[in-house]
């Protein structure tokens, strides 16, 4: 590999953004100037959406109007739900089902067909509708797959609480709603990650917002980007089912050459700040349930890998046990990631196309040269 080749575009600057910044050495994540700690502690997911999409935190009236618009967009057309039902009954992968359903939403979207691709108002409204409907799709898919009827969204619950209500058929208590809302805030944006880059690459062609989000979902479906928290929880369950000491388990796993999920990150060189926050919430949920099993198992593995291998946990490591203790099915962890990150995808699409340039990288050709080949007609081959 030549010195100037940046495989995977690592370290290559392709855009300027005001949305989020990561300091991987200090373990800092900032949305539009606000630390993730302040936002996770004091702002709802709806407030963070407003911040990402509009550039500032809303006042009470602005937030109320924004939430009303989100609530009004939650319902999904019956034809889309019918397709979701077919996918669920066919036991489709949850991320593949979400990708298909979001693409299908465009057929029923009220945006003017003759709208310019860069129309800020139209794109904002479209992005808001997609963001509002994704929880409805995920909840419906999960319930249908489990042999239950979908639950209609309610107009008196916030984004996070409404999803848990649609998923479980009962209103969540304040603690669960708060923890889930905080998880959505933590996952809302994270720089120019792979799925976000897919979204803006699609948007740079002046395609539509549905196509951009569908591209992003398809990218997040890949196990090198999404799915790590699902792997973490499967790992923790393996330790628990084996009734093994977590310290012995992780030592044996490493001796066998296994990769321990939830550790290391392409950007962070220290502990992911989001992991710190979710670790605390995982502990709180365990205390409320009367058992710290999952939290203590996680911290034992974390302490060993930090001390012996210098590996720090990422957000997936503690979101796994947090979601599990909330009763969320393991295989919809990645769709929930999409449910949150769509806010960032949409924001980056808005930002990029304001000063759009078609994303068109080049590859260095290292194949055969014409002087080294001779064309042979078909009949002579």
Question: Higher-confidence residue: 364 or 202?
Answer: 202
Taking the C-alpha atoms of residue 251 and residue 262, their distance in angstroms, rounded to an integer, is 16
Whichever domain contains 94, its CATH number is 1.10.580.10
The residue assigned the tokens 């309610």 is 154
Same domain membership, residue 241 and residue 217: no
For the stretch 343-362, pLDDT in tens is: 999 999 999 999 999 999 88
Do 42 and 127 reside in the same domain of the chain? yes
List all residues 6 or more positions away from 376 whose beta carbon is below 8 Å from its beta carbon.
none
pLDDT digits (tens, 9 = 90+) for 319-344: 999 999 999 999 999 999 999 999 99
Q: Cα 281 to the chain's mean position, in Å? A: 19
Note the pLDDT of residue 259. 86
Domain assignment present for 71: yes
pLDDT tens-digit readout, 181-235: 999 999 999 999 999 999 999 999 999 999 999 999 999 999 988 888 999 999 9
Is 149 known to be catalytic? Answer: no
Say if residue 98 is in the same domain as residue 240.
no
Same domain, 86 and 192: yes
| 316 has catalytic annotation | yes
pLDDT at 226: 87
Res. 3 pLDDT band, cuts 50 70 90: low
Using alpha carbons, select from 241, 226, 253 the residue that is nearest to residue 309.
253
Q: Is position 1 within any domain?
A: no
Same domain as 198, residue 74: yes
The listed range with the strongest mean pLDDT (139-143, 240-244, 283-287) is 139-143
Of the residues 326, 347, 367, which one is the last residue of a structural domain? 326
Judge if 253 and 211 occupy the same domain.
Answer: no
| Residue 362 covered by a domain | no
Tell me the C-alpha distance between 138 and 95, whole Å. Answer: 9
The answer, yes or no, to whether residue 247 has pLDDT greater than 80, is yes
Options 265, 331, 348, 379, the catalytic residue: 265
- Same structural domain, 207 and 273: no
- Is residue 123 located within the same domain as residue 137? yes
Residue 65 lies in a domain: yes
Distance CA 101, CA 135 (A): 12
The pTM assigned to this predicted structure is 0.94
Is residue 168 one of the residues assigned to a domain? Answer: yes
What was the pLDDT predicted at 1? 56
DSSP tag of 117: T
Same domain flag for 254 and 214: no
Residues near 335 by beta carbon (within 8 Å), at least 6 away in sequence: 94, 95, 98, 138, 141
Which residue do the tokens 């949850």 mark? 94
* Mean pLDDT, rounded, of the chain: 94
Measured distance CA(320)–CA(21) in Å, rounded = 24
233/351 same-domain check: no
Domain that holds residue 113: 28-223+330-355
Q: Is 262 within the bounds of a domain?
A: yes
- Please give the helix or strand (H or E) that residue 281 lies within, else none: helix 273-289
Q: How many separate domains does the chain show?
A: 2
Same domain, 244 and 132: no
Regarding whether 188 and 242 lie in a shared domain, the answer is: no
- The CATH number covering residue 319 comes to 1.10.230.10
Contact between residue 217 and residue 95 where contact means Cβ atoms under 8 Å apart = yes
How does pLDDT run across 145-164, given as a tens digit for each residue? 999 999 999 999 999 999 99
């Amino acid at each position: 590999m030549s010195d100037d080749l940046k495989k995977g575009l690592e370290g290559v600057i392709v855009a300027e953004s005001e949305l989020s910044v990561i300091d991987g050495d200090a373990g800092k994540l900032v949305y539009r100037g606000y630390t993730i700690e302040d936002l996770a502690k004091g702002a709802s997911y709806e407030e963070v959406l407003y911040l990402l999409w509009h550039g500032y935190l809303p006042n009470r009236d602005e937030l109320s109007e924004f939430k009303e618009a989100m609530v009004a967009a939650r319902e999904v057309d019956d034809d889309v739900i019918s397709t979701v039902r077919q996918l669920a009954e066919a036991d489709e992968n949850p991320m593949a089902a979400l990708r298909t359903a979001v693409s299908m939403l465009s057929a029923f979207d009220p945006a003017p067909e003759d709208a310019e691709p860069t129309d800020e108002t139209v794109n904002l409204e479209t992005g808001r509708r997609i963001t509002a409907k994704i929880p409805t799709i995920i909840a419906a898919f999960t319930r249908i797959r489990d042999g239950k009827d979908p639950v209609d969204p309610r107009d008196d619950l916030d984004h996070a609480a409404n999803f848990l209500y649609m998923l479980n058929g009962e209103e969540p208590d304040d603690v669960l709603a708060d923890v889930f809302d905080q998880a959505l805030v933590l996952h809302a944006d994270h720089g120019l990650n792979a799925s976000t880059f897919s979204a803006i690459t699609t948007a740079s062609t002046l395609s539509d917002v549905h196509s951009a989000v569908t591209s992003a979902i398809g990218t997040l479906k890949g196990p090198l980007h999404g799915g790590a928290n699902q792997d973490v929880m499967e790992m923790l369950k393996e330790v628990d089912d084996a009734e093994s000491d977590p310290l012995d388990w992780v030592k044996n796993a490493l001796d066998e050459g296994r990769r321990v999920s939830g550790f290391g990150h392409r950007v962070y060189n220290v502990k992911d700040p989001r992991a710190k926050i979710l670790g605390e919430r995982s502990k709180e949920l365990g205390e409320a349930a009367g058992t710290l099993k999952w939290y203590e198992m996680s911290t034992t593995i974390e302490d060993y890998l930090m001390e012996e291998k210098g590996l720090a946990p990422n957000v997936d490591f503690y979101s796994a046990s947090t979601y599990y203790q909330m009763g969320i099915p393991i295989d919809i962890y990645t769709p929930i990631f999409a449910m949150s990150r769509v806010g960032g995808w949409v924001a980056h699409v808005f930002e990029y196309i304001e000063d759009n340039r078609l994303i068109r990288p080049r590859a260095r050709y290292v194949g055969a040269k014409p002087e080294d080949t001779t064309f042979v007609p078909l009949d002579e081959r």
